[in-house]
Amino acid sequence: MGTENGHNAIVSIRGLRKTYDGKPPVRAVDGIDLDVHPGEIYGLLGPNGAGKTTTISICTTRALPTAGSVVIDNIDVVKHPSAARRSIGVVPQYNTLDRSCTIWENIHFHCLFFGFSRAEARARTQQLLDQFHLAEKANSYPAQLSGGLAQRVQIARAIAHRPKVLFLDEPSAGLDPQSRIAMWEIVQGLHREGITVVLTTHYMEEADELCNRLAIVDHGRILVEDTPAALKNSVGAQTIYELDLHEPVPDLQQKLGMLSGVTAVEDTPRGIRVLARTCDGLIGDIVSTAQSSGLRDMRVTEPTLETVFIRLTGRDLRE
């Protein structure tokens, strides 16, 4: 099974489409192909409504595609959903913890659902509670937990049956900055253990920080796919140099514009702004050119995924 799909890939999506009936019908996913390699953290970055959640829902057997295939760990998830569920762990956007059970019971019963013996389930639950620093909360109920803790429990539960791939849908939605960083550390820890992680996000910092590779998604299609660094160096991504000058110097603009890699030079109230493709040695050239013209200060802004997204779509990620 799945040999026609990308070999070596642990998650392989081909020609995925999903149209929701309605007036007019909504084309949520419009032809997505992608491969996720074992052990990597793969991100789907895009604005709300781009089709990320639908893609994850199909991968995790909670939605049926209109067309296309998803193969995870050599199992076709559309044809064999219950077998595929053994290979996947899911943390959805919202809290799905069992409100009638304590944290300990939530994880324990999850293990039993996946065929663990009681002793195995007990041992695994204890291990996860320790690993995720949840031991103190073992007897609390989900309603008593903060958003960050509830999410930590959800991640612990999702990996309790040792899935090969963990899907995180908007993991930092609704988290405070501290919880978000704690969550990143957890995901990086799982990555070191060798779990493949697929996550969706509309926070470019998150995609940049966490993902080995990512796809920028909009209107149900993948616009580009690469490592965060390569994406930032790609399609018109620019480093911005803000120069503060003592006073305006007439021919400085022209001189800076001649440097190789520089694509635009603009006046600013405090001096000059240089936009340039990322290339080695440029910063030295800019400084030496501007120094004789009374350079007071300089700030460098590296290209971000947000600038990449804007270049690709003409829109802001959060619009």
Partner 1 sequence: MATNARIVSYARAFAGLFMRDLYVLRREMFPFLIRVAMNPILFLFVFTYIMPHMSGGATLSPTAGSGAGPSFSTILLPGLMAVGIMFSGIAAVALPLAQEFGITREIDDRVMCPLPTGAVAIEKICFSAVQSAIAAAIVYPLAYYIPSTKPITHVTSWPFLIAVVILASLTSGALGLTIGTTVKPQQIGLIFGVVVMPITFLGCVYYPWALLDKMPILQHGVLLNPIVYMSEGLRGALTPALPHMNAALVLLMLLVFLSLLTWLGVKGFLRRVIG
Q: Which of 75, 11, 60 is nearest to 215 (CA)?
A: 11
Backbone angles phi, psi at 310, to 5 degrees: -65, -45
- Identify the residue whose tokens are 């779990």: 195
Q: Does residue 293 contact residue 253 with C-beta atoms inside 8 Å?
A: no
Would you count residue 83 as binding partner 1 (CB under 8 A)?
A: yes
Would you count residue 112 as binding partner 1 (CB under 8 A)?
A: yes
Spatial neighbors of 140 by CB under 8 A, at least 6 apart, are: 102, 103
Judged by CB under 8 A, the residue of 59, 77, 97, 150 near partner 1 is 97
Q: With respect to partner 1, which residue has the nearer C-beta, 101 or 249?
A: 101
Pairing of strands 221-226, 295-301: unpaired
Which of the ranges 35-43, 80-88, 264-272, 286-294 carries the binding residues for partner 1, by CB under 8 A? 80-88
Residues within window 144-173 making contact with partner 1, judged by CB under 8 A: 157
Which of the ranges 6-14, 83-91, 221-229, 284-292 carries the binding residues for partner 1, by CB under 8 A? 83-91
Q: With respect to partner 1, which residue has the nearer C-beta, 101 or 173?
A: 101
Contacts of 190-193 with CB under 8 Å at 24 or more apart are 190/155, 190/159, 190/166, 191/39, 191/40, 191/41
Judged by CB under 8 A, the residue of 5, 12, 55, 57 near partner 1 is 57
Would you count residue 72 as binding partner 1 (CB under 8 A)?
A: no
Q: What is the DSSP letter of 6?
A: P
Q: Does residue 40 contact residue 214 with C-beta atoms inside 8 Å?
A: no
**Rounded Cα gap, residues 163 and 159, in angstroms:** 6
Q: With respect to partner 1, which residue has the nearer C-beta, 44 or 272?
A: 44
Would you count residue 79 as binding partner 1 (CB under 8 A)?
A: no
Judged by CB under 8 A, the residue of 1, 25, 67, 94 near partner 1 is 94
For 271, the token pair is 């001096």
Q: With respect to partner 1, which residue has the nearer C-beta, 75 or 290?
A: 75
Residues at the site binding partner 1, with contacts judged by CB under 8 A: 20, 54, 57, 60-64, 81-83, 85-86, 90, 92, 94-101, 105, 109-110, 112-115, 157
